[in-house]
């Protein structure tokens, strides 16, 4: 009775492709796991040329043609074009290895560029998905209490504007979009607006604002806004932006009860808004305000 090892050796020997002088297209297709249509096309463009019988003009391939297939599949795996493969395989140039190095260096640069583009797309999708999850959690649990929390430090890209009570045009902001493009950058995550005056915001008066969003690529200091890295008063506003003044009043009442002094500037973080849905009842906006309170006669932040 043969051992397991002998059985493996026998099976391997049976599956091994034995060199022959000729392989018909059906043999090539089966051995190389490649369709006849593909083989005919490769023959047509001279990538894997076939031979012809003198007496019946039947197409056949040589053993050398057979061994070219794994090489082509590997080049295809790396993303090279059929024309590039032909050049690599022929190797007619005197400086063939120098040319190969240049082509491979170009391919590395191309793939690194594609990899970076995919990274940015992946970050954008993940960030938006996280916002939808956050909004769903807030709405399902009716989370609208005022509280304080530590806001992580982040570097945002900013754009100065004058807010004239057009909240939709400020969130889906054409000028900000054009500005981002002019910097050769992209952004992700929620839009934030820094209002310079909470009172003006509550009373719908025009005021200077900063439009803020996380960049996907590094930004120069002159375009960067450093946000967070401290405790802030936080409260979710659920529903239309037109009623957000009610949440501001709730925050003000809470701050007085807890002995907090609120900063004049406020931030609105748009978790879900016009970007996500036109159903304003499902909007979720987080209000964030720097605050300090007195303890034992001293002010703590």
Average pLDDT, the chain: 90
Question: DSSP H helical segments within the chain, as ranges?
Answer: 4-15, 25-32, 36-44, 63-78, 82-90, 96-140, 167-171, 174-182, 198-202, 244-258
DSSP type of residue 161: E
> What is the tens place of the pLDDT at every residue in 250-297?
999 999 999 999 999 999 999 999 999 999 999 999 999 999 976 654
> What is the tens place of the pLDDT at every residue in 149-185?
999 999 999 999 999 999 999 999 999 999 999 999 9
Q: Report residue 35 as tokens.
A: 């369709």
Q: Using CA atoms, how far apart are residues 27 and 16, in angstroms rounded to an integer?
A: 14
pTM (2 d.p.): 0.80
DSSP type of residue 164: -
């Amino acid at each position: 009775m043969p051992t397991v090892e002998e059985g493996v050796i026998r099976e391997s020997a049976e599956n091994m492709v034995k060199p022959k002088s000729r392989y018909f297209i059906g043999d090539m297709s089966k051995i190389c796991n490649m369709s006849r249509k593909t083989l005919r096309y490769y023959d047509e463009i001279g990538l894997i040329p076939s031979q012809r019988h003198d007496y019946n003009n039947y197409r056949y391939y040589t053993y050398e043609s057979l061994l070219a297939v794994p090489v082509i599949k590997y080049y295809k795996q790396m993303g090279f074009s059929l024309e590039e493969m032909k050049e690599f395989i022929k190797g007619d140039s005197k400086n063939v290895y120098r040319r190969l190095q240049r082509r491979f260096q170009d391919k590395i640069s191309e793939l690194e560029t594609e990899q970076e583009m995919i990274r940015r797309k992946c970050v954008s999708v993940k960030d938006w998905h996280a916002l939808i999850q956050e909004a769903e959690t807030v709405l399902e649990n009716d989370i609208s209490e005022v509280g304080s929390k530590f806001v992580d430090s982040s570097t945002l890209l900013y754009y100065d504007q004058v807010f004239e009570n057009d909240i939709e045009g400020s969130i889906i902001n054409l000028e900000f979009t054009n500005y981002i493009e002019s910097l050769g950058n992209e952004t992700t995550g929620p839009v934030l607006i820094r209002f310079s005056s909470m009172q003006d915001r509550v009373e719908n008066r025009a005021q200077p604002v900063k439009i803020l969003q996380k960049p996907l690529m590094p930004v120069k200091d002159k375009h960067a806004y450093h946000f967070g890295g401290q405790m802030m008063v936080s409260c979710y506003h659920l529903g239309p932006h037109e009623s957000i003044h009610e949440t501001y009043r709730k925050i003000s009442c809470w701050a007085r009860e807890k002995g907090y002094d609120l900063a004049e500037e406020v931030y609105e973080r748009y978790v879900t808004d016009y970007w996500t849905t036109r159903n304003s009842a499902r909007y979720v906006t987080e209000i964030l305000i720097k605050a300090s309170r007195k303890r034992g006669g001293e002010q703590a932040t």
